[in-house]
Amino acid sequence: MARIVLTADRAVFTDFSGAEPLGFGLCIPYRLVPRFVEYWVLAPPVPAGDGGRAIFAPYPLCKVEASLLAAGFRRSDVIITPPEKLEGVVSSDTEVVGVHVLDPQGLAPVSWTLRVLMGGGETCTQYEFERLMMRVLQLKRRYRFKVVVGGPGVWQLRGLEKKFGIDVLFEGEAEITFPVLISKILKGEEVPGYVVGEQPAPEAIPTIVTPSRNGIVQITRGCPRKCHFCSPTMQNFRSIPLSNILKEVKLNLEHGLHYVGFATEDVLLYGARGIEPNPKAVKNLFTKTLELSKRYGVERPGFTHVSLSTALAAKELVKFITDTCGYDAHNPAFPQVGLESGSPRIVARYFAGKPYPWKPEEWPEVVISSTKLMNENYWYPCLTYIIGFPGAEPEDYLRTTELLEKLKEEGFKGWTFPLFLVPIGGTLIEKKTGFKTLQELPQEAVESMVVGWRLSIRFSREVYPKILRSMKNRFLRWLLERLTEKALDSLENWVTLISRDPSYIDRLVAGVKLRSTPSLIAALIRSKLRTS
């Protein structure tokens, strides 16, 4: 049996029914998520092969496994297993259980925002992490292995090591430091409780051996723009060699994954030196990936993030990607994009590098021109903006509202989603702010949120059938379409009520429970009685 077992909780170790954006549904307080919605739709279980080995896994776990193998550990020493199989995999041979975490205490920006806006309570992400760790603790008492926890959510667990039986919190990149740490543990040497991973050169990052969930493959690490609230920017910016990207894409396709998704902070910065795009590298990336993926019947890769200023600085690349991938009104791209604020004063103070090569005062114009360019090329972005920058005045929120109104006038297609500022561990802003709540904000901040939500609801009604189309299970898709319609109606009511009186959340939403079938039925009857 394996000596090193790698896993993650159910909110991380799932394929989100094939639609990655559904993962955001797990950031909702769990009392509001019916059990069947969480376990059948948002986070269905993933298959495992003989001996509990995962058939595919979240990409970061695949990378950790690859680092161990590249460092000389045998395949039989290491196993990635879904959480449901853990008890069958851990044995007296197990010396280390490694747990990958994204949002273990529900404090990531989307989670925190949804908690505040939905009356508080543990998110599904926190609930699942804690459930997993209770099981890990029981196993640890029996088998006495070490527990190492790593991943972007590690900052949320500082001070909670004892509660969850964690021996080592591992921050940063795995490739160089993680295998050294594990070797020491296996030799019975003392190891520190907190370890920071060194950053490898891109050529030294081993390629994955276990296929990655939903065909995700990383193409860049880090970001050169240095926004104060961002954690990926604390890593050096690097592009992964194309040959390694293609190797991982091929592995996924050969194992039957029918999707290619580029994980990146800015797809247009692939191969760039600093902030200057490298058109040749980006074109090569898409052309070569498509040559390969089409052989397996995959028509186009997706990508996670892009920045507004790079898109505007590299207009021809946006068009090239659309033409090459065949994006159109029925097959659009949905990248995540940071708008952050419409106030040049806030831009200059907290993210002056984001508009570059434009100046902070030109940011609103960059946003308008770049979103227009994206929409013309069938990129429908999810624009996130931040509420609660330290020192933000009502005037700054008014600038954001004006920018959102302008987007609406221009017929913007996409989402505009406000997020509360979160002092993410290790970021430049960490020590300068706390977690924000609605009560601390001026009315102008609430108004800027309301404008963004309304824009998003309008666009969601237009586009959700296209997003759900990638779901594999037809019955679930039908079910989710009905639920989405209902959810959007409720959201519209909720926004109207909050715009009149934000205390509505505490008075009415905080007590709502939809988790179990009886509580869901009771809530539906109550809402029916209210509307009739």
Would you tell me which residues interact with ligand SF4 (CB under 6 A)? 223, 225-227, 230, 232-233, 265, 307, 338, 351, 354
Shorter beta-carbon distance to ligand SF4: residue 210 or 384? 384
Which is nearest to 364 in space by CA: 394, 387, 396, 333? 396
CA separation for the pair 63, 208 (Å, rounded): 6
Least distance to ligand SF4, CB of residue 421, Å: 12
Least distance to ligand SF4, CB of residue 383, Å: 12
Least distance to ligand SF4, CB of residue 279, Å: 19
Least distance to ligand SF4, CB of residue 310, Å: 9
Locus of tokens 């070490």: 146
Is residue 91 exposed (0-12), middle (13-18) or buried (19+ Cβ within 10 Å)? middle
Residues paired with residue 263 on neighbouring β-strands, in sequence order: 218
CA separation for the pair 352, 491 (Å, rounded): 34
Helices 177-186 + 59-70 axis angle, to 10:
70
User: What is the torsional sign of CA 227, 231, 233, 234?
Assistant: positive
Cα 290 to chain centroid distance, Å, stands at: 25
Phi-psi region of 72 (alpha: psi -120 to 50; beta: other; left: phi over 0): left
User: What is the torsional sign of CA 359, 363, 369, 371?
Assistant: positive
Shorter beta-carbon distance to ligand SF4: residue 206 or 222? 222
Shorter beta-carbon distance to ligand SF4: residue 105 or 307? 307
Shorter beta-carbon distance to ligand SF4: residue 69 or 337? 337
Least distance to ligand SF4, CB of residue 143, Å: 40
Shorter beta-carbon distance to ligand SF4: residue 277 or 338? 338
How many C-beta atoms surround the C-beta of residue 137 within 10 A? 15
Which is nearest to 56 in space by CA: 81, 19, 73? 81
Least distance to ligand SF4, CB of residue 344, Å: 16
Shorter beta-carbon distance to ligand SF4: residue 195 or 374? 374
Shorter beta-carbon distance to ligand SF4: residue 226 or 315? 226
Least distance to ligand SF4, CB of residue 229, Å: 7
Least distance to ligand SF4, CB of residue 432, Å: 16
Shorter beta-carbon distance to ligand SF4: residue 119 or 232? 232
Least distance to ligand SF4, CB of residue 514, Å: 33
Shorter beta-carbon distance to ligand SF4: residue 17 or 233? 233
Long-range contacts of 509-514 (CB under 8 A, 24+ apart): 509/118, 509/119, 510/119, 510/120, 510/121, 511/119, 512/31, 512/32, 512/119, 513/31, 513/32, 514/31, 514/32, 514/33, 514/34
User: What is the torsional sign of CA 161, 114, 19, 152?
Assistant: negative
Helix, strand, coil: what percent of the chain each, to 5? 50, 15, 35
